[in-house]
Structure 1
Amino acid sequence: MSAALGLLVLLLLVAIAAALLYRGQAISAHADAETARSLSEGLQARLEDERGARAIEQAGARTMARIGTQHEEDRQDAQALPARVVADIDSGVLRLRRQWAACETARLSTASAATVERDAFAELRRKDQGDLVRVGRDANDQVRACQGTVRSLTNAAAPPVGTEP
């Protein structure tokens, strides 16, 4: 009987050891699963952050492309500006300041200048007037494009040149 009791105690100890081993493995597996879930959630959050950053970069790139396209369109429109200005001055729709309207004719003496010279200077003056307006518009377009770029990069909402708040 004492041998049977010893065997029973031994089997009980083996069963307890097996249960503790199984429990330890279950706890370890649960901890591993929790670690994997935590790691997965962290990676998912990083993925979402990167997607958000890419979306912001793509939106910025689209804005910069739009600004560049608008600037190029403005530059192409500006090439036809001198001819329009000359036509508008000739038709009386547009008037320039006095110092530009008569800058070349003030140098001519009507008594000494030949008609051909007066006509040549008048044509040159009209061309120069158109060029002056084109230069001003080019500068304004350039400033507007730069402001758009800065506004895009800083997300500022400043009004463009030539507009009043």
Structure 2
Amino acid sequence: MSILSRALIVVILALGLLAIWQRGSVANAKRERDYAVTARVSAEVERDNAKAITAIERQRVKRAEAVATQYEQEKADAESKGLAVADGLRAGNLRLQQRWQGCEASRVSDLGAGIAQPDAGADDRSSSAGRIVRAAAQCDAQVRGLQAQVRADREGDQP
């Protein structure tokens, strides 16, 4: 075999090895590209999920703020209801039921005749009735607020 044929065989073998090596490099590049595409798609899905979760949380916060605002308004209304009842009782516009009226002026003994205010309990009953009405209205407002919050949470959990 001549030197030229041996050189030609070496060149052909070198080209063959180069082709095999190139083919492996291309396969590695394709595999890395596929991994990168998969990672990008996964990141996009995670981003979209995070946006959806954030939107849901914002809706929940808005509903919770609305419930809290309504509760605070009802609590303030309860305070004014209590004051209105107490003022109405003092002014005589409202009357307590017989069982809540306490002692009557005609049944007060003569021992208190010299006292400037023979039935101070009437004013105390008016104030107490106002506090009772206020407390009951605040409790009602709290129950309505908690129920509204539960309803809002349940609405947010449904797809």
TM-score by length of 1: 0.71
Q: Structure 1 6/111 Cα, relative in aligned 2: closer, same or farther at 3 Å?
A: closer
Deviation readout 1:84-130 (Å, 9 max, x if unpaired) = 335666446xx765534x3x1xx336254669535x55444443333
Q: Distance in 1 between matches of 2:33 and 2:84?
A: 75
Post-superposition offset of 1:143: 1.3
Percent sequence identity over aligned pairs: 23
- Partner residue, 1:136: 136
- Partner residue, 1:33: 33
Counterpart contact for 2:75–2:137, Cα < 8 Å? no
TM-score by length of 2: 0.73
- Partner residue, 1:59: 59
Q: Distance in 1 between matches of 2:107 and 2:13?
A: 132
Amino acid corresponding to residue 4 of structure 2 in structure 1: A
- Partner residue, 2:10: 10
**Structure 2: gaps of 5 or more residues:** none
Amino acid corresponding to residue 76 of structure 2 in structure 1: Q
Q: How many residues align?
A: 149
Q: Distance in 2 between matches of 1:47 and 1:147?
A: 34
Higher relative contact order by CA 8 Å / sep ≥ 6: 1 or 2? 2
Deviating above 6 A after TM superposition, structure 1's stretches of 4 or more consecutive aligned residues are none
Secondary structure of 2:3's match?
A: helix
Are 1:81 and 2:81 an aligned pair?
Answer: yes
Q: Distance in 1 between matches of 2:49 and 2:5?
A: 65
